[in-house]
Structure 1
Amino acid sequence: MKIVYYTYLRDKGGAARVANLIASYLSKEPGYEFIQLVEREGVDWSKLKDASIFHLHSSKNWLEVLKKLVDFKGIVFITAHDFQVLGGGCVYPFQCFNWQKECVSCPLGFTNSKEVFAQKKKLLLKINPIFIYPSNWLKKMGSKMYPGLEHKLIYNGVELNFNPTLELFRYQRKFIILICSSLGRNEIKGSDRWPFIIESIFQEDKEIRFFLVGGEKLSFSSPEVAARVKQVPVLPHSELLNLLAQGSLLIYPARIDNFPLVILESMACGLPVVAYQVGGIGEQVIAGDCGELIAPLAEDKLIATALALLKNPVQLRKMGVQARERWQRFFRIEKMAKEYGKVYVQN
């Protein structure tokens, strides 16, 4: 079975990582041949010849890619890692319900959203792809927008090749981690609120340390706060996992997100999570079990919850153990890849 899979980047970002994990795992099984097309490096469309499956994961030019697939004779799968392939342009329809009206207008500023959506819909109905979603939250949206197409749920999975310590001393360190997948200010991921969150927590407990990955370079109101914060723009993936395995708590204040890999990796590393109950995050984190979920944008509650947990390292450790157990049961790479393998074979 020849499977051509398409990503915008070769190995950076969540979509490419998931795509490569699937290909890497299933390539070990007999009968699979995977070929990756990378948009940013230039695409040789002749590689589609004799392919039985085309699997689209990410693009910066969805319309052009979809146009190329209209005459493809095999089966097309599209994994919706975010909302872009479904709607009129945005990554996520934050505080917007016009996606239910075919993106007739866009409060986020995509001026041609109605036309883009109409073109996508026309192409998708011609291609007749099978949509796969990492979250039931996004699957419900896609099913409403394209009721005539097939929609499936497969949770993301991640791998961890070491056993993190789950000893109590780790959770007594009061070591908070905040991560944003992009550089610069990112309101969707909540990195614009990091300074307020950090300074508010510091005012209540000056022993807490913070490690920030991504986001814009921050400055703080006092050198005392700055001394408790370390920030780096990016980390190699292996170093990021080692960092997560040392933390006491991950705070993830995204205003909307689908099924972030960093939460799964935190769980694999035994790191409890405090986040808003938005998007698919509630399908990852069980409140009171492996972290806490806060009502959307209830920032004071988010801060108070983080402080309360850090005062109770025994509870934090229990959550860390349960987070790792939940990852082992539901979100391992083996489980995700096998489910993708099933849908490949069945179709």
Structure 2
Amino acid sequence: MHVHQHTLLQSQGGTARVARDLQMYLTGQGIPTIASFELQDSAAVGLQIPPEQIANQVDDAKAQGILHLHSTADWSVCLEFCRERATALAITLHDCRLLTGGCPFPLSCQQWVIGCSESCPQHFSKTAEHWEKIRVLLDNLKPILMAPSGWLAGMVRTLHPQARVRVIPNGIAAAGAERSSKIECKKKLGIQVNSKLVLFIAHGGKQAMYKGGHLWTRIWKQIKTREPQAVALAIGGEKTTRNGDFWELPYLVQQDLVRFMDAADVLVYPSLADNHPLVVLEAMSRGLPCVAFASGGIPEQIIHEQTGLLSPSGDIEHLADSAVRILQEPAWGQHLAKLAFHRYHRFFTVERMGRTYIDAYRQLLQATPRPEGIEDKQARKRTRT
């Protein structure tokens, strides 16, 4: 088995992190892997390859070669070139772009079910053309389609009822640092120890519309009114700003983000559209109680009133009430967090994710015809030996 993974971004973002963690696991299992990307950042690993050349990287002389696509700037070009080669193709859907006219998430729009029109409510262009082309390519290529959530897998089956679909929940590696008491963590960050720290996190900050960043201020005002000791840190924007007890911080690398999670009393995650967000898993792994909208695949991570609290999607008053409830009943909040921590270790580790991907790869190889001549060459080799 030889696995070539490809992502749009070299190392930033959740998709790249999943691919990187999976590569490390596969390597640890003795499975040769290669990583490629399209947009380079500061990392020094992987090959930079445009979409039209990705399929060429899998040597079809290798009967056990697998091309695993996570993301690309141009799915239609990438898949078109894959169709020209006898490649064992695996695709992880980290969002809905392969099912829609190009939008990451359709929200309340249902056009993707019957065929996107050019009147896209999110104003994406050439949506009808994109939807039809991707639909035909996937039907012809017949890759194994892997979704981190049952929610997204259900969407795949709606549009491609004959497709091979696997649900493989995202997994993350536990942060190495031991958790200190929240008081000690707050002291180290210069936060008053008697404050009740509310955390908002989204790449893009308040501009992250799918993640509900534009709702942060409204939710915060409701929390602050009911809990005067609350202090908020909103992480993921472009610069550091302050408005009263509401601080905005830019994007943080994982090890810095963990420090704030360890100091926080609750994570408020008002995402309106999500697949299987890593930030929720991060909170679970650090024993941080989380309140969130019951959107997308989030209810597959958080079990309401067992490992966190869920609110109807878009109901900011309900979400704020949930956050205040945890702030004012810290013992109960820590009980939820403890159960969430155990749920993380049971279902959402890199090891569990990696084992499931390997099983999916084997399933794919068994179902993928070998390139012409491979079986004869291998038979002759066995005869000579």
Deviation string 1:217-258 (CA, Å, 9 cap, x unpaired) is 6978xxxxx242322111111111222122110000111111
Deviation string 1:176-235 (CA, Å, 9 cap, x unpaired) is 100012255122111111111122221222211111111466978xxxxx2423221111
User: What secondary structure sits across from 2:39 in the alignment?
Assistant: helix
CA RMSD of superposed structures (Å): 2.1
Q: 2:134 aligns with which of 116, 120, 123?
A: 120
- Is the alpha carbon distance of 1:282 and 1:178 closer, same or farther for their aligned partners in structure 2, counting shifts above 3 Å? same
Whole-angstrom distance in 1 between the partners of 2:331 and 2:262: 17
Q: Report the counterpart of residue 94 of structure 1 in structure 2.
A: 107
User: What secondary structure sits across from 1:339 in the alignment?
Assistant: helix
Q: Report the counterpart of residue 298 of structure 2 in structure 1.
A: 281
Deviation string 1:249-268 (CA, Å, 9 cap, x unpaired) is 00001111111000000000
Q: Report the counterpart of residue 223 of structure 1 in structure 2.
A: none
- Aligned residues of 1:172 and 1:310 also touching (Cα < 8 A): no
Deviation string 1:91-119 (CA, Å, 9 cap, x unpaired) is 00011111111223522222421111111
Deviation string 1:42-94 (CA, Å, 9 cap, x unpaired) is 41544322451000001121111111211221210110000012221000001
- 1:173 Cα deviation after fit: 4.7
1:250 aligns with 2:267: yes
Q: 1:346 aligns with which of 363, 375, 383?
A: 363
Deviation string 1:307-345 (CA, Å, 9 cap, x unpaired) is 122111110111111111110111111100111011112
Q: Report the counterpart of residue 38 of structure 2 in structure 1.
A: 39
- Aligned residues of 2:5 and 2:35 also touching (Cα < 8 A): yes
Instruction: Indicate the larger mover: 271-280 or 207-216.
Output: 207-216
Instruction: Indicate the larger mover: 159-168 or 296-305.
Output: 159-168
- Is the alpha carbon distance of 1:123 and 1:40 closer, same or farther for their aligned partners in structure 2, counting shifts above 3 Å? same
Aligned runs of 1:56-205 on 2, under 5 Å? 56-104=69-117, 105-160=119-174, 161-165=176-180, 173-183=195-205, 185-205=207-227
Q: 2:250 aligns with which of 216, 233, 249?
A: 233
User: What secondary structure sits across from 2:35 in the alignment?
Assistant: strand
Q: Report the counterpart of residue 21 of structure 2 in structure 1.
A: 21
- 1:123 Cα deviation after fit: 1.4
Name the amino acid aligned to 2:34: I
Whole-angstrom distance in 2 between the partners of 1:248 and 1:147: 43
Instruction: Indicate the larger mover: 3-12 or 48-57.
Output: 48-57
User: What secondary structure sits across from 1:181 in the alignment?
Assistant: coil
- 1:166 Cα deviation after fit: 6.7
Instruction: Indicate the larger mover: 207-216 or 164-173.
Output: 164-173
- Is the alpha carbon distance of 1:317 and 1:168 closer, same or farther for their aligned partners in structure 2, counting shifts above 3 Å? farther
How many equivalent residue pairs?
341
Q: Report the counterpart of residue 265 of structure 1 in structure 2.
A: 282
Question: How does the TM-score come out when normalised to structure 1?
Answer: 0.92
- Aligned residues of 1:166 and 1:317 also touching (Cα < 8 A): no
- 1:306 Cα deviation after fit: 1.0
Whole-angstrom distance in 2 between the partners of 1:209 and 1:75: 51
- 1:162 Cα deviation after fit: 3.3
Q: Report the counterpart of residue 8 of structure 1 in structure 2.
A: 8
- Aligned residues of 2:205 and 2:234 also touching (Cα < 8 A): no
Whole-angstrom distance in 1 between the partners of 2:4 and 2:123: 34
Name the amino acid aligned to 1:204: R
- Aligned residues of 2:240 and 2:250 also touching (Cα < 8 A): no
Name the amino acid aligned to 2:235: V
Larger Rg computed on CA atoms: 2
Whole-angstrom distance in 1 between the partners of 2:75 and 2:264: 38
- Aligned residues of 2:66 and 2:88 also touching (Cα < 8 A): yes
Q: Structure 1 unaligned runs (5+)? A: 221-225
Whole-angstrom distance in 1 between the partners of 2:352 and 2:15: 17
Question: How does the TM-score come out when normalised to structure 2?
Answer: 0.84
Whole-angstrom distance in 1 between the partners of 2:211 and 2:13: 14
Name the amino acid aligned to 1:162: A
Q: Structure 2 unaligned runs (5+)? A: 41-47, 186-192, 365-385
Whole-angstrom distance in 1 between the partners of 2:8 and 2:284: 27
- Is the alpha carbon distance of 1:169 and 1:322 closer, same or farther for their aligned partners in structure 2, counting shifts above 3 Å? farther
Whole-angstrom distance in 1 between the partners of 2:209 and 2:249: 19
1:213 aligns with 2:220: no
